[in-house]
Structure 1
């Protein structure tokens, strides 16, 4: 019996999905010449810079000096490389539905119909017939974004060589990140396909692999020791103190004790171990959306977001008709191997709130 096609006029009033990927913070280390690792620290110090602001001066003259406190992160003076490490776990899609309930105005039939539509989509993605081509492609794209080091952000741009190693159980895969495409998802190597297979089996609920990922970055002869590197920046908002230029993300013990007298004043103080925030890394790993309508003209993959929000372009690349909110209403009618289907698989991995109140 053929399942009837259902396109819902609205989604349940309470609807959310738990993300199917967990990423740890990426910790920074100085790779020492003897092979040991030394935690790379964020330090806070004061400096006197110059004013360079593209605006009209207020008053008779513009202030020339720029006195500020700022955080920085640099490799050890004797470092041979920068080493960045993290862990990744992928989880079964069928366990992702976190909450699904009716609002006061919802028809009672909506709940059962939506769950049937959702479960049918999952069954076609990775059910009795095995892992679909669409789910496998999404997993392969995750594998490529791990292998190419996109998650290293600006650090990747300054490196002369980047070696990414992924360990899954006893299996170890090594990738030359700078030779792995950033903006294409085709011609996968044997190790990318192997890694994609591990990821797909987790998403299908067939396995529970955990990935240990590390990158070794070399900045070139003479550039590894005391080289500035780039952990995540913190957003301070309107509470940012006057004269404070930049706050960097750091984990672990902090030694930011206030100076009580001049003899206790330090020229620089340790904030903690430098790290890339897990959310920033996850954003890079899901930068695989080439299914949005303007891809041919824009030419770059964007992060999987419900409305295609992209900070670099300051643009929403997915209108209402192409958003995951709209596609969620028609899972029953979606080919899991189509662009729409793969986008929705990636959206379920991302997770999010899809609750919809009122009549639509």
Structure 2
């Protein structure tokens, strides 16, 4: 099959579907009692701290005149109550099967060849590597994001709910045992959770998990919900708007999903073992918006489309390239030839 036969319409449903995450305040020694965290609005008087123009930088009088002008800002904020020392995050996440089966495809020959390639991957690797890394991220509390940084302790509870398992299972993890820089640590609890995810991706069962994570950050400390993207800044008076659900501070489901699929250690810079290089989320171009960088540039032929086209057309990929391609299919998206052109 020629590359020209890659369909113009090709889409895959995501196989990892998290909910929004709600934030609560509690005490580390008494986690059974918690209170919803609310957003507060405050107005502050900031100082001029942006880079100066050359004219202002060279003229002390102009700088002093600028400094005299305050920089008032109205922002959303969120903090633990003074009688709470721990932030609690709750969300659910559903894993689905039928990996590699397009939800839309206008080329039956391509679809058949793709499913054959996916079947070969499943026979050789199942989803063991990917499942272990998804489980690792659930256990580590990576989805706490900035709320995890500097935490004295991290406690994670993962419980199966509403699925076809005969008996409910619960897993308890010490998030500090799972470094975010790699996926080398393992234990029997992690292996068991990974097996449940693996069986689901293989289509043998269904799986929905309730995840509750606790980070001890001390009394009254600031908490970091998701920040809203303001499209029309001219009409919005606040310089920072935080996310809430029915009045409860929250993390976007997209932010939680991004953390769960932050498993890509197969890009070139990571394999070069450069200092400070960390796992990134599975993205077609390895995009990390906070760094303004694409770690899988097409010119290096390690982006998803280059590898996926080879994979679907029956060409050989190495093991790490295969894990990356299948991981992006699990992520889901629209990958038709027309979208590239």
TM category, shorter = 0.7 to 0.9
Match of 1:331 in 2: 311
Structure 1: stretches of 5+ with no match in the other structure: 1-5, 102-110, 253-271
TM norm structure 1: 0.82
Does the 8 Å CA contact 1:83/1:217 hold for their aligned counterparts?
yes
- Once the two structures are TM-superposed, the CA of residue 334 in structure 1 deviates from its matched residue by 5.8
- Are the structure 2 counterparts of residues 31 and 96 from structure 1 closer, same or farther at C-alpha, using a change threshold of 3 Å? farther
Q: What does 1:300-339 correspond to in 2, within 5 Å? A: 300-320=278-298, 321-332=301-312, 333=314, 338-339=319-320
After superposing the two structures, state which structure 1 stretch, 285-294 or 53-62, moved more: 53-62
Q: What does 1:1-360 correspond to in 2, within 5 Å? A: 6=1, 8-9=3-4, 11-32=6-27, 33=30, 35-56=32-53, 57=56, 60=62, 61-63=65-67, 64-94=69-99, 96-101=101-106, 111-126=107-122, 129=123, 132-133=124-125, 135-169=127-161, 170-219=168-217, 223-224=218-219, 226-241=220-235, 244-252=238-246, 272-297=247-272, 298=274, 299-320=277-298, 321-332=301-312, 333=314, 338-357=319-338
* Counterparts of 1:294 and 1:51, CA distance in 2: 38
- Are the structure 2 counterparts of residues 296 and 358 from structure 1 closer, same or farther at C-alpha, using a change threshold of 3 Å? closer
- Describe the superposition over 1:234-254 as per-residue Cα deviations: whole angstroms up to 9, x where unpaired: 1114525576221111111xx
Match of 2:164 in 1: none
After superposing the two structures, state which structure 1 stretch, 60-69 or 15-24, moved more: 60-69
Relative to its length, the structure with more helix (as a share) is: 2
- Once the two structures are TM-superposed, the CA of residue 62 in structure 1 deviates from its matched residue by 1.0
In structure 1, the residue corresponding to 2:138 is in which secondary structure? helix
Match of 1:105 in 2: none
TM norm structure 2: 0.86
Structure 2: stretches of 5+ with no match in the other structure: 162-167
- Once the two structures are TM-superposed, the CA of residue 67 in structure 1 deviates from its matched residue by 1.2
- Once the two structures are TM-superposed, the CA of residue 185 in structure 1 deviates from its matched residue by 1.9
- Describe the superposition over 1:151-209 as per-residue Cα deviations: whole angstroms up to 9, x where unpaired: 11110003110111111252111111122121212242111111111111111111111
- Are the structure 2 counterparts of residues 96 and 69 from structure 1 closer, same or farther at C-alpha, using a change threshold of 3 Å? farther
- Describe the superposition over 1:205-249 as per-residue Cα deviations: whole angstroms up to 9, x where unpaired: 111111110111112xxx32x221001111114525576221111
- Once the two structures are TM-superposed, the CA of residue 55 in structure 1 deviates from its matched residue by 2.5
- Are the structure 2 counterparts of residues 182 and 67 from structure 1 closer, same or farther at C-alpha, using a change threshold of 3 Å? same
